[in-house]
Amino acid sequence: MQRPVPSRETILVIEDEESLRELLQDELTSLGFRIITARNGVDGLEKLQDAEPDLIICDRAMPAMTGYELLERIRGIYPQYRDLPFIFLTALTDQRDRLAVRDLKPTAYLEKPLDFNELVQAIEKALGKAA
């Protein structure tokens, strides 16, 4: 599914697995998004300061700072990002994990291995571009 996105929204991709991070960057750039990448939650929090993203895609389980901890900080410390769309990517498939993050209101919670079409649909929906 290759749909061009002419508006160039900025997406911050936070993923500790380098090959997946690079794949997401390549695929989403080809769709017209401006992509900024971070290798973990700490790096992502630093990049958030300058990036002003329209959406964040973040791995749930990472070293240094988990995606859960990152989202908790963003929602609590940065009022300007309280409603920022936030999509979790995770290999954690236990329903209890989804319930653990429910109060932080992530926009979507997608399981790995990633279905790229499902990710694009979640992005479009989060950015108000659903067809």
pTM: 0.88
Q: In CATH, what number does 10-125 get?
A: 3.40.50.2300
Do 72 and 103 form a contact (C-beta atoms < 8 A)? no
Phi/psi for 82 (5° steps) reads -60, -35
Beta pairing, strands 86-90 & 108-111:
parallel
Q: In this structure, how many other beta carbons lie within 10 angstroms of the beta carbon of residue 95?
A: 8
Per-residue model confidence as pLDDT tens digits over 4-48: 445 589 999 999 999 999 999 999 999 999 999 999 999 999 999
Q: Where do the structural domains in the chain lie, given as residue ranges?
A: 10-125
